[in-house]
Amino acid sequence: METKKKILIVEDEKTIAEILLYNIKAAGFDAEARHDGKSGLDEALTGKYDLVLLDLMLPVMDGFEVCEKLREKLDTPIIMLTARDTEQDKIKGLDTGADDYMTKPFSINELMSRVRANIRRYSNETVMRKITDTTIVVGDVVIDCENYLVKKGDKTLELSKKEYDLLAHLSKNLGKIYSREELMSDVWGYENFYGDLRTIDVTIARLRQKIDGDGAGESLIKTKRGMGYFIAPPEK
C-alpha cells in the first residue's frame, strides 16, 4: 500500500485550520496543523511533509518569512493562503518561493485539486533528480552527475560542457552503440542536422585524450567501426 502523503497546515485561525484538517484527511492525506509562523516553520523543517499550506498573515513570523526560510533548506511545495488579494502579495509570495497561491475564501475542491497537482509535480521532479544525481563509475572514471565533475583516480578532469555531456550520455547507457547522427541529436540536440558529423569525432578525440592521457592502454570510449561509439560495461 502506498504511504499517505503528509500535509502541513500553518494557519492561525483555528476554525479554518480545523476545516482544512478535516477535508484533507477525508481526501486520504495525513495532516498536521500549526498555528503560528515560527512553529509552522520548525515543523516544516523536519522534512516530513509533501506539501505545506501556508497562511500569509500569521503571528510571530509571517507567511513570507516562513516561506523564505523554508526555501533555504527544502523544496517542499508551498501553497500560500491569504485573505488579501493584491497582485503585489501574489508576486511577493511567488518570489519568496511559494509554488501556488490561493485567496480566501476558496473552494475546498479547488484547493484539493491544487494540492494534488503540486504534489504530483514535485514527485516527478524528485524522480528526475534522483536519476541525474547518480554517480556513474566506469573503470577508474567517476562521473558525478550532480556537480558535473569527472574524476579519474584522484585527478579531476577539465572537460568542456559538450565533452561532459557526451561522456555522461555514453556512460548512462553502457554498452549501447551510438551512431554519430544519434549523438548529434541526443547530445547536441540538433534534430535535423545538416552540419558536420566530424564535430563528434573531434570531441571524442579530445575526450579520449583527456581521459586516457597519452597512455598506450585501451580507451574508455570505444569505436565500433562503421557503427559508432560506446562505453563498455566494466569487467565483472
CB of 46 to Ca ion, least distance (A): 22
Q: Is 100 in the site for Ca ion (CB under 5 A)?
A: no
Which runs of E-coded beta strand occur in the chain? 6-10, 30-34, 51-55, 78-82, 100-103, 135-138, 141-144, 149-152, 155-157, 221-224, 228-231
CB of 106 to Ca ion, least distance (A): 14
Q: Is 89 in the site for Ca ion (CB under 5 A)?
A: no
CB of 12 to Ca ion, least distance (A): 5
Which of 152, 149, 148, 155 lies closest to 139 in space, CA to CA? 152
Q: Is 57 in the site for Ca ion (CB under 5 A)?
A: yes
Q: Which residues of 174-195 are buried (b: 16+ CB within 10 A; e: fewer)?
A: eeeebebeebbeebbeeeeeee
| Cβ closest to Ca ion, residue 24 vs residue 54 | 54
Do residues 51 and 78 lie in contact, with contact meaning Cβ atoms separated by under 8 Å?
A: yes
By CB under 5 A, the residues from 216 to 235 that bind Ca ion are: none
Q: Dig out the grid coordinates for 223 from the structure.
A: 569505436
| Cβ closest to Ca ion, residue 12 vs residue 65 | 12
CB of 23 to Ca ion, least distance (A): 18
Q: Is 186 in the site for Ca ion (CB under 5 A)?
A: no
Q: Is 212 in the site for Ca ion (CB under 5 A)?
A: no
Q: Is 55 in the site for Ca ion (CB under 5 A)?
A: yes
First vs last Cα of the chain: how many Å apart? 37
Within its chain, how far is the Cα of 7 from the centroid? 20
- Single out the segment in contact with Ca ion by CB under 5 A; choices: 49-57, 156-164, 196-204, 214-222: 49-57
| Cβ closest to Ca ion, residue 35 vs residue 152 | 35
Residues forming contacts to Ca ion in the complex (CB under 5 A) are 12, 55, 57
